[in-house]
Structure 1
């Protein structure tokens, strides 16, 4: 099972989440055998009608994919609505750093929780989340600050990460290690429904002597 959080607020104040799950739970051999025998009996009784029904279920599962929440869905408390998702980005490599974006999402704020008024001096129109996976293939210590990436949007906003709701992804990679997490950005003025792309900009990785060892990251994610 894989799980992503569209938006997790600070501390114990509140939690607004949209998750994604794939696959299923393991079962033991006895359960599987019993299920198989039962399914065989039912299919024999239902005949061609059962085959047709099974075909329809398979089509539905293929359409839904691995994501529990689809575009247009709201989270459990109705605070956010998922507007767009991109999970097809290719791996980016610079020096010994490999960077993946398993999921980039745009959500609109349906109702901003009153609990957050003390922590923000504005009410965002939407939330952009970038899920990241970073691998350092070198045995040397490399500094790469994906958690401080700047983004720009097709609607004309330039945004810095919202550190209160983002995961802490330390910039120091001591040897061959990997890190993952979610970086979140609060839209301040533009309509999230109008976002067509997000541009992600990250400074090049550097070594312990603060010398650049790769190229800056500048990639556009389309929706």
Structure 2
């Protein structure tokens, strides 16, 4: 039995950032996680953020509950979900640049969550809510169908070794789960600096033409849109010679 959660508050592998740290529920007996939870120490400021700011910005969601995204904001605006926001700097920048939109950021690592909470306070942002949860569980059963306008997945762990490909978050079941929560015409935007993973993503999304349409055309990557900030992690990848690929799909 599920219950609806209305509002919970009053108002690296070797890949450096490892932002999309979520688990896949596609394997039969036991979920295969695409992240390794390494909890670094919190700074004093991040500890304060959890004490004082989580009640304001945090979402206390548990599997079995159905989250009502619109109830988290006192608006009826379109909502973006970012999966694996890392330290949250790029999410805060996007929210500041688009005050007419609302954002839900999902991240499992506490230091990154604390960092974002402090950024929201410092910048006076009110259009962001923060969630620590398994993205696979949230997408499969924790959100109403067609409840989001946009889903973002930027620089997930590429799990480059072949034996680890089953740990990649972008799998057929994940693609279907994202499609379920997006409204018709909504956007699924992915980015990676690992070319083999970009090709994998392209194959997975282009392989579901009944769900998604490639905005750049079949088999093609998109140019980076202006609303996606360039992060310090992305700059690091570029210094290492990595080519960044954006993939932008429209929900049919």
TM bin, normalised by shorter chain, reads under 0.3
Q: What's the TM-score once normalised by structure 2's chain length?
A: 0.23
Q: What's the TM-score once normalised by structure 1's chain length?
A: 0.25
Structure having the larger proportion of residues in strand: 1
